[in-house]
Structure 1
C-alpha cells in the first residue's frame, strides 16, 4: 500500500510540474548535475519500475547472451506519460527507454517499455507491462560473450 501511495504521489507530482505526453527532453532543459524535486520524483519512479524492467530485459537477452543483464535506474529515461482517463484520473501509461548492460556498463541493446500504472491493476502494486519493444542490439566485447554464446 505504501508503494502505491509513493507511486501515485510521484506521478501526480511529475504531471503537476509539466511532464507532458511529448518527450520531456524536447520540451524542457533538465539539469541533471544538481538535485531538484523533479529529479527526485523521476528517480523514485525509476527505482519503482526497475525490478520489472530488469526482469523483462533478462527474459529477452538471456536467450542469446546466456547471462543476466543489468538495468540501472539512472539509465532509464521517460519517453512519454499519458493519463488514460482524463484530468485527475489515476490510470497512466508511461513509456521508458533504457540500455541494459553487462560487465562494466557495456550496453547490449536499447529497449522501450510501456507500463500501465493504475489502482485497477490487481498485481505488482498497480504496475502492468503493456508492451516491450527491442529497438537496437549493440556488439559487445569478446571477453563478455560468455564463451562465444552471444549470437547477435
Structure 2
C-alpha cells in the first residue's frame, strides 16, 4: 500500500479513537437502517470517520469473514462497528489494535451471524490477528 494511503488510514484512526459508538443503532437493525431521524442530512463527524475507516479496512475484514463462512457471504461497513481501539505502545504511538464487530449477511441483507475481528494496524502494515465467531442466526428455508 502506498505511503499516502497509510497516512490517511492513521489520520482516520486517530479521529475514530475519539468516538466509536455512533453505529450501535445501525448495527442492531438488521435491515441496515438507523433509528436516528432519517430526515436529517447531517450526521456526526465521528460516524463519518468511522465509516471511512471501516471502508478502508473492509478488504481485510472481508477476507477474514470469508475464511469462516465461504465466498457467498457479504460484509460491508454498514454492518460493522469498532468496539475497541487502543494504542499498543502508549500515548501517540502508531501501533494500534482494533476489535471490530461484524454482522455478515447473505442475499438481501439477511444476517447470518456475528463475529469479532481483531486487526493490528501500524505504519505500513494491516494484519488480521484473530477472527472469532460469536454466534449464528437462523436462515430462512429459501436460502
Paired position in structure 2 for 1:147: none
Normalization by structure 2: what TM-score? 0.80
Paired position in structure 2 for 1:115: 119
For 1:39 and 1:32, locate their aligned partners in 2 and report how far apart those are by CA, in whole Å.
Answer: 12
Residue 36 of structure 2 corresponds to residue 40 of structure 1: no
Query: How far 1:32 sits from its partner (Å)?
Result: 5.8
What RMSD in Å do the two structures reach over aligned CA positions?
A: 2.1
Paired position in structure 2 for 1:3: 5
Picking from 64, 69, 80, the partner of 1:61 is 69
More helix by share: 1
Structure number with greater Rg is 1
For 2:77 and 2:13, locate their aligned partners in 1 and report how far apart those are by CA, in whole Å.
Answer: 16
SS of the residue aligned with 1:85?
coil
Picking from 76, 97, 111, the partner of 1:93 is 97
Give unmatched runs, 5+ long, in structure 1. 120-124, 145-152
Normalization by structure 1: what TM-score? 0.76
> CA 1:86–1:49 in 2, change beyond 3 Å: closer, same or farther?
same
Report how many residues are paired: 126
Query: How far 1:25 sits from its partner (Å)?
Result: 3.5
Paired position in structure 1 for 2:21: 25
